[in-house]
Amino acid sequence: MEVDESSPSSLLSSPSSLSSDSIDLNFLPFLRREPKSEPASPEHGPLPPPLPLPLPPQATAAIAVAFAAPTTPDLSSPEVLTPLQSLPPNPDEDALFAEYCRLASLYLLSAGAGAIVPAPTPEAAAPAAVQPGSGSAAKKRRPRSSELVRVSSLSVRDQIYFRDLVRRARITFESLRGLLLKDDERAEALGLAGVIGLGSVDRRRVRADLRAAALMADRDLWLNRDRRIVGPIPGIAVGDAFFFRMELCVLGLHGQVQAGIDYLSAGQSASGEPIATSIIVSGGYEDDDDRGDVLVYTGHGGRDPNLHKHCVDQKLEGGNLALERSMAYGIEIRVIRAVKSKRSPVGKVYFYDGLYKVVDYWLDRGKAGFGVYKYKMIRIEGQEPMGSVNYRAAEHLKVDALSMRPTGYLSFDISMGREIMPVALYNDVDDDRDPLLFEYLARPIFPSSAVQGKFAEGGGGCGCIENCSIGCYCAERNGGEFAYDKAGVLLRGKPLLYECGPYCQCPPSCPNRVSQKGLKNRLEVFRSRETGWGVRSLDLIKSGTFICEFSGIVLTHQQSEIVAASGDCLVHPNRFPSRWLDWGDISDVYPEYVAPNHPATTDLNFSIDVSRARNVACYFSHSCSPNVFIQFVLFDHYNVSYPHLMIFALENIPPLRELSIDYGMIDEWVGKLTM
């Protein structure tokens, strides 16, 4: 077996030099069952049967209408004229039914036979990292390559490039998934629960993450598919969190949809021997012994596919042999752990915990009485802390912080009860107590001249008696749609969002009231030797969710000029880059996608004085590759020149990871915030 060394420069290929051929998913429409498969998710149950039923006449007619109607985009065609976001906000039942039928038929038509295709020769392989394509639909999906490479080292510039590349793919995946779920909600509201072509199968079992991944594969947007990477994946950090297993496949972190061992088969390997590259530890196997840095992993095979119990002895073949061969060659294994979590839509979250080496293996008698192969794996030293360990540590900190950190806490709540969730202050580096010297403002204080007469401008709020729905006054303010899904996740960024406010008649439970409710995560201001003061969360934060508001004393343009002369610390909202454009952007799949330009804001000439009063957001560290972004929101007044600065997650943020934001123009005021 040969392991090639690829330099960073070879990976940083220009878009024109990258392959645009498609890839073979090898999983749609029905997953190919592999040994060592994880237990079926109780939320979804088994997958639909493989033989679709004939479409009823009304469905066939509806699909014909859908393909002919110019206002309904054809997801199966590269010449899409209108993205899904441009559908009418309140379509009639026939149009909605047609769209639903079209999506269902697309899912079936794009599935293919799911057969394993022989791997291409190394000469036909493309660079390791796949750049987002032009959006042209692929006619034939390429299988995973058999060429093994290792990324030896990356410069800081290369690390930022690949991190942004991975983030872009994750945003596309999550945006598509959210869009499909939104369409599902509309169909279910009309009582369309079954999937066309699959009889009475519940549409919730045809998961949105599978459909989103398929759409990305059609556009050649899966990363690291053209070469098998041994060791770390560029752009993926130890501790990163993933809510869907399909995301691991899209990024190339683990290429098997069900199998717990990802390996290159003997038939594909240049040496004629199988080689393992990654494993998933789900915690659902009785013979596994997981102690963190030391892991005893049970091999695959010998299990009843329905009962998930061993019934025969395992054999040293397939993934089992691949792990043994990886031990012989000294090849490191990527380890991903699945941890139960109430914050996950599927009840668990996947953490990338870094690289391990297989140091020993043996055949043992399992708890069920049958022979099982066991592999002792030891974590390589010098890596970042494991995400699964940080997750459990953060859970303990929320319950009994002093037992884990007897010293270092300066305050358990610097907000003094002004926030719904406490904001701790921790410093085990030096004697700096600077955050205690500021008054804590959970909400900004606007000048009366800026909001006077603006509370009921344009007719005030909506008159909804129950939760708002499409067609209400606040929906029209947002361009005919709501910004959030039913879980409060931002669907796509906009220049300005309108939430229901104090002048609306809808109840507090209205899904259009999100950022105004304040903190939902346990945040902690901490002292760092690298960034000065920083902020981290004790909770797992899902991408697209609200974190906190940027608060202080709001000054008009004239007031700002006077205060700036005295050297006070001012934050200028117009300097924050428009990173809201990234969230919800699906232009890689639909090139004709146009970023929303309504509602619009005027020139933001105001500033926020944080020299005397501030909140937790003022301690976010700066990064040109941040994990949060600013979204402008209005809810308590309607002066578009003075919106609230709401902060949302740009990616999944695991517990105890520092939150970073792009301040844009860097000058002295950023240093004053973080020092």
pLDDT at 364: 87
| Confidence (pLDDT) at 428 | 95
Separation of alpha carbons 187 and 254, rounded Å: 33
- pLDDT of 403 reads 94
pLDDT at 90: 40
- pLDDT for position 641: 92
CA atoms within 13 A on the CB side of 117: 17
Q: What is the pLDDT of residue 16?
A: 36
Instruction: State residue 206's pLDDT score.
Output: 75
* Closest alpha carbon to 588 in 17, 122, 20, 155: 20
Under a CB-based contact definition with an 8 Å cutoff, are residues 475 and 469 in contact? Answer: yes
**Residue 493 tokens, joined:** 């960024």
The whole-angstrom separation of Cα 572 and Cα 566 is 16
| Vertex 106: Cα angle to 16 and 493 (nearest 5) | 60
Task: Phi first, then psi: give them for residue 117, nearest 5 degrees.
Answer: -105, 135
CATH 2.170.270.10 holds for 400-672: yes
pLDDT at 199: 46
What per-residue confidence (pLDDT) applies to 358? Answer: 96
Strand partners, 379: 356
- Please, which residues have CB within 8 angstroms of residue 115's CB and are 6 or more apart in sequence? 26
Closest by alpha carbon to 210, among 90, 395, 47?
A: 47
pLDDT at 170: 97
Q: Note the pLDDT of residue 35.
A: 38
What's the rounded Cα separation, in Å, for the pair 340 and 350?
Answer: 9
- Domain ranges for the chain, please list them: 149-184+207-387, 400-672
Checking phi first, is residue 417 left (phi over 0); if not, alpha (psi -120 to 50) or beta? left
CATH topology of domain 149-184+207-387: PUA domain-like (2.30.280)
Q: Return the pLDDT at 338.
A: 93
DSSP SS3 for 468: coil
Q: What pLDDT does residue 674 have?
A: 54
- Sites in the chain below the pLDDT cut of 50: 1-97, 99-101, 103-104, 107-139, 195-199
Other Cβ atoms closer than 10 A to 257: 21
Please give the Cα distance from 320 to 314 (Å, whole number): 9
Contact at 8 Å (CB) between 512 and 474? yes
pLDDT (0 to 100) of residue 342? 86
* Helices 57-68 and 93-109, packing angle to 10 deg: 90
pLDDT number for residue 79: 37
Alpha helices in 225-308 (DSSP H): 245-251
Report yes or no: 302 and 314 within 8 Å, Cβ to Cβ: yes
